[in-house]
């Protein structure tokens, strides 16, 4: 399927960014083979102002975090003197917060509901508030509920007794999926749950071992593009639950449409639940480095959009407008200057 965001008239510079972004995805394996496993003993390795390699915690290879993280690594490498960056494949949001706070990563993607829970010390972080700050609000994640024609399922209210992938353990998908089930009046214990990443969810839908899969990611998600090419993918409308979820948990759940044509065969817009994606770091990171990272990314949105179209939402004028976690002070300095 042709990617209409990329077009047929890419410049040599844009092609270079895509190649560099792809190359950055290979860096974690090279780094591990050369240096051993990441440090899990705590601290802020690579977060000082003296240069070094920054590790970016992303998500699974079938989602958006991973390829976009490769683009971010390229932007950092090319625009911050003395610094390189690599990406880690992870289970995403919950794990990524923990990787920041134990020093195994210096930059990480995480969805707003998970970030809020982490700061407050609730949910997956019960009794253990996490010290993190935001390098910027980057784009909206869409929590998507997916099935195929043969199941006959048309709504989340029908999921009791069904086999459902709620997302990988430690992911924002899992957090959001369980909250949607509750909002739809379905006891999560009445569902036969599977904890699968998006690529595994697509495979399970194809072979009929699950009935529905949830996925939280930017638009379009590569693995779902692949599933849609089969011609029988169905997106379930779940946007109607956003208001009750926001009332219960916080203002980071929004009823937003997945536009018609986002996926092959999708002829109508479908209501989904959107949540902001944040790039997070330790508040102990050097403030000048915080500022430099935000500048390297938000000053290069056009190039990053060539890596993944979700990046087109990145706007320094609104990136610091987050109420449930502090914006890193260095990043705030950049956002203030960018908006003046």
Q: What is the pLDDT of residues 128-137, one digit of tens each?
A: 999 999 999 9
Residues 315-326 pLDDT 10s = 999 999 999 999
Q: Can you tell me the distance from the alpha carbon of 151 to that of 205, in angstroms, rounded to the nearest whole number? A: 10
User: What pLDDT, on the 0 to 100 scale, is given for residue 24?
Assistant: 41
* Residue range(s) in the chain whose domain bears CATH number 3.40.190.10: 12-138+278-338, 141-276
Count CB-CB contacts under 10 A for residue 265: 12
User: What pLDDT, on the 0 to 100 scale, is given for residue 30?
Assistant: 33
Q: Can you tell me the distance from the alpha carbon of 198 to that of 60, in angstroms, rounded to the nearest whole number? A: 8
What parts of the chain have a pLDDT lower than 50?
1-45
Full DSSP string of 171-224: SHHHHHHHHHHHHTT--GGGSEEE---HHHHHHHHHHTS-SEEEEEE-SS-HHH
Q: Taking Cα atoms as reference points, which of 3, 58, 11 lies closest to residue 302?
A: 11
Q: Can you tell me the distance from the alpha carbon of 309 to that of 139, in angstroms, rounded to the nearest whole number? A: 10
Q: pTM of the entire structure?
A: 0.75
User: What pLDDT, on the 0 to 100 scale, is given for residue 12?
Assistant: 36
Q: Can you tell me the distance from the alpha carbon of 287 to that of 94, in angstroms, rounded to the nearest whole number? A: 24
Domain spanning 12-138+278-338 has what CATH number? Answer: 3.40.190.10
The structural architecture, per CATH, of the domain 141-276 is 3-Layer(aba) Sandwich (3.40)
Q: Torsion angle, CA of 22/23/24/29, rounded to 10 degrees?
A: 110
């Amino acid at each position: 399927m042709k990617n209409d965001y990329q077009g047929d008239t890419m410049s040599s510079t844009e092609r270079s960014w895509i190649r560099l972004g792809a190359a950055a995805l290979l860096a974690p394996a090279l780094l591990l083979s050369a240096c051993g496993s990441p440090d899990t003993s705590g601290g802020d390795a690579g977060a000082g102002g003296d240069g070094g390699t920054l590790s970016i915690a992303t998500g699974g290879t079938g989602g958006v975090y991973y390829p976009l993280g490769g683009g971010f690594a390229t932007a950092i490498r090319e625009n911050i003197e003395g610094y390189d960056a690599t990406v880690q494949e992870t289970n995403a949001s919950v794990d990524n917060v923990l990787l920041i706070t134990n020093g195994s990563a210096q930059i990480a993607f995480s969805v707003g509901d998970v970030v809020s829970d982490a700061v407050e010390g609730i949910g997956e972080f019960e009794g253990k508030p996490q010290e993190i700050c935001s390098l910027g609000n980057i784009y909206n994640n869409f929590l998507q509920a997916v099935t195929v024609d043969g199941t006959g399922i048309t709504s989340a209210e029908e999921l009791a007794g069904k086999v459902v992938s709620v997302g990988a353990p430690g992911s924002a998908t899992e957090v959001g999926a369980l909250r949607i089930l509750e909002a739809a009046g379905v006891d999560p214990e009445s569902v036969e749950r599977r904890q699968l990443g998006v690529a595994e969810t697509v495979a399970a839908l194809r072979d009929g071992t699950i009935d529905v899969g949830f996925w939280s990611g930017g638009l379009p998600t590569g693995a779902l593009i692949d599933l849609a090419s089969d011609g029988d993918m169905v997106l379930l409308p779940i946007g109607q639950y956003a208001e009750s979820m926001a009332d219960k948990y916080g203002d980071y759940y929004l009823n937003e449409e997945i536009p018609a044509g986002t996926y092959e065969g999708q002829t109508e817009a479908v209501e989904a639940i959107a949540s902001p994606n944040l790039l997070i770091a330790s508040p102990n990171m050097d403030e000048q480095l915080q500022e430099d990272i935000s500048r390297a990314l938000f000053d290069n949105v056009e190039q990053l959009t060539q890596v993944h179209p979700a990046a087109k939402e990145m706007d320094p004028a609104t990136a610091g407008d987050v109420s449930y976690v502090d914006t890193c002070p260095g990043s705030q300095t950049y956002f203030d200057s960018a908006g003046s």
